[in-house]
Amino acid sequence: MMTSIMHNDEVYDMYHSIEQSCNTILNETFSWGFFDFKRKVRFKVFPDLTFNARSYRGVFINTIGVNIGVLPLIHALAVNYAKLDYVCDFNDGKQYKREIVNGNIKKILATCYVNISRHSLDDDTISSFFDSDDMGDRYAVAYSVFEKMLYFFMLHEYAHLLCGHDRKSVEFGSHTSKSSERNTREYRQWQEIEADMWGAVMLCETLHLDMKPVDDSSFMDKIYKEIGLIYTSIGLLLMSFSFANPLAETIESYSVSLHPHPAIRIANAYETIHRYLELTSGLEVNILKDIMTQSLANLLTLAGDLDMPIYWILTGETENIYLELKRLRDNVSDKHVAETYKGMSSVIEKLHNNMSLF
Ligand SMILES: [Zn+2]
């Protein structure tokens, strides 16, 4: 049976309450005001099941919009990820068969990227999304991954607004020989890289990670776990964009897209977080590196199990990933990068001063 999400009061109430609670979270997180150029920003859930988000400017209010379909997908993804034994080393006696969990993840991604209809879901899909299995302690990990994915999703869109990506005219660096259409695509790809970078930094800040090490091992364990889950959440979300996408086979084929290849986005986000925590967390570099490596290894295990081409790119094409990042960076002017950096630094500073525990 198909359930329509349109003209359905229950569904309407549900997405309205999600919208309200996300707005409350954001307003509390950005205690200095969830504002953008003196305009208020609101979070809006759209009654559309496709996996998409957007941000746009209005006369009095700016909007970050996420389609309602994003929520059950990332929840189901997080729940299944937390069932994988190499991700969670709980001694809770719970055993989930790796092949079955991998199969679930494949089904969830296929539903969202291949078989989705905009406004209705069949009942089977609904039950696979809202897995009622009692996961014990693993649910805390699943919920944390879900929450961070949702936060990153919103903060990526917020970064687009803060960077003024919708308003900036196309402004290039030295590569004038290419066609302007190609340049525009590369510029859009660079905007995605910027939104990922600043979204990731804002995520670290909003999660109070700018704290100094203390002599309390359980507290430190918690911090390490939180950092690992930031990497995991961003990586899992970005990796899912490559599912069943024929363009994902090579980095080059993504040149027709307005988004960079997910492998490029993962490498960029991971490196940004690593550098940012290195500068601000006061934690040992080696420990930070270990956390990042472990999260990446887990992600790659999943990508390998699911037979995703991104596995080969992330493991065998590191050099090409960095060349592509550099190429996208070189396509925009130094002035553009410096302006964005300056604007975002003041946002991060405000966040840092208001959120910091020290
Ligand atoms: Zn974007």
Q: What is the pLDDT of residues 25-46, one digit of tens each?
A: 777 766 555 666 667 788 888 8
Residues 46, 128 share a domain:
yes
Residue 141 is assigned to a structural domain of this protein: no
Judgement on whether residues 261 and 208 belong to the same structural domain of the protein: yes
Q: Mean pLDDT throughout 239-258?
A: 85
Ligand 1 centroid, distance to 99 Cα (angstroms): 33
Q: What's the pLDDT score for residue 81?
A: 93
Ligand 1 centroid to 157 CA: how many Å?
6
Q: How far apart are the CA of 284 and the centre of ligand 1, in A?
A: 32
301: nearest Cα among 97, 81, 134: 81
Across 104-108, 155-159, 183-187, 237-241, least confident range: 183-187
Place of tokens 């997180």: 29
Q: What is the DSSP string of 230-269?
A: HHHHHHHHHHHTTTT-GGGG-TGGGGGSSS--HHHHHHHH
Asked whether residue 151 is domain-assigned, the answer is no
Q: How confident is the model at residue 357 (pLDDT cuts 50, 70, 90)?
A: very low
pLDDT over threshold 80, residue 133: no
* Same-domain status, 231 and 339: yes
Residue 116 lies in a domain: yes
| 238 CA to centre of ligand 1 in angstroms | 11
* Domain span including residue 187: 163-355
Q: How far is the CA of 153 from the centre of ligand 1 (A)?
A: 9
Do both 111 and 208 map to the same domain?
no
* Structural domain total, the chain: 2
Give the end of a domain, one of 101, 136, 171: 136
pLDDT at residue 233 tops 50? yes
**Nearest residue to 332 via CA among 237, 191, 226:** 191
| Residue-level pLDDT at 354 | 65
> What's the DSSP call for residue 168?
P
Residues 72 and 176 in one domain: no
Ligand 1 centroid to 341 CA: how many Å?
17
Nearest to 231 by CA among 273, 284, 259, 264: 273
Task: Place 119 in a pLDDT band, splitting at 50, 70 and 90.
Answer: low
Query: What separation in Å is there between the alpha carbon of 336 and the centre of ligand 1?
Result: 17
Q: How far is the CA of 191 from the centre of ligand 1 (A)?
A: 7
State how far the Cα of 45 lies from the Cα of 67, in Å rounded to an integer: 6
Residues 94 and 189 in one domain: no
User: Do 101 and 53 belong to one domain?
Assistant: yes
Whether pLDDT at 229 is above 90 = yes
Per-residue buried b or exposed e for 81-97, using 16+ beta carbons within 10 Å of the residue's own CB: bbbbeebbeeeeeeebe
Domain boundary among 117, 136, 155: 136
Mean pLDDT is lowest, of 197-211, 219-233, 305-319, for 197-211
Q: In this structure, what token pair is assigned to residue 175? A: 């590569």
pLDDT in tens, 191-219: 999 999 999 998 888 776 545 555 667 77
Ligand 1 center to 199 CA (angstroms): 10
Q: How far is the CA of 187 from the centre of ligand 1 (A)?
A: 12
Do 167 and 42 share a structural domain?
A: no
Residue 143 belongs to some domain of the structure:
no
Cα 138 to chain centroid, rounded: 21
**Residue 120 pLDDT > 50:** yes
| 246 Cα to the center of ligand 1, angstroms | 20
pLDDT > 70: what percent of the chain? 80
Q: What is the pLDDT of residues 325-344, one digit of tens each?
A: 999 999 888 988 898 888 88
What is the 256 CA–ligand 1 centroid distance (Å)? 16
Mean pLDDT estimate for the chain: 82
Residue 298 in domain? yes
Any domain includes 142: no
Instruction: Note the pLDDT of residue 121.
Output: 66
The rounded Å distance from CA 195 to ligand 1 centre is 6
> pLDDT higher for 176 or 285?
285
Does residue 333 sit within a domain?
yes
pLDDT of amino acid 172: 45
Q: Give the mean model confidence (pLDDT) for residues 3-22.
A: 73
Q: What is the mean pLDDT of residues 283-310?
A: 94
Cα 247 to ligand 1 centre (Å): 18
Residues 128 and 219 placed together within one structural domain of the fold: no
SS3 8: coil
The C-alpha atoms of residue 54 and residue 51 are separated, in whole angstroms, by 11
Ligand 1: centre distance to CA 86 (Å): 31
121 inside domain: yes
- Output the CA 204–ligand 1 centroid distance in Å: 18
125 shares its domain with 231: no
Report the distance separating Cα 58 and Cα 253, nearest Å: 35
Are 122 and 170 members of one domain?
no
Question: Are 149 and 231 a contacting pair, CB within 8 Å?
Answer: no
pLDDT at residue number 183: 67
Same domain as 108, residue 196: no
For 37-86, how does the pLDDT look when each residue is reduced to its tens digit (9 = 90+)? Answer: 667 788 888 888 888 888 888 888 888 888 888 888 888 899 999 999 88
**CA 258 – CA 185 distance, rounded (Å):** 5
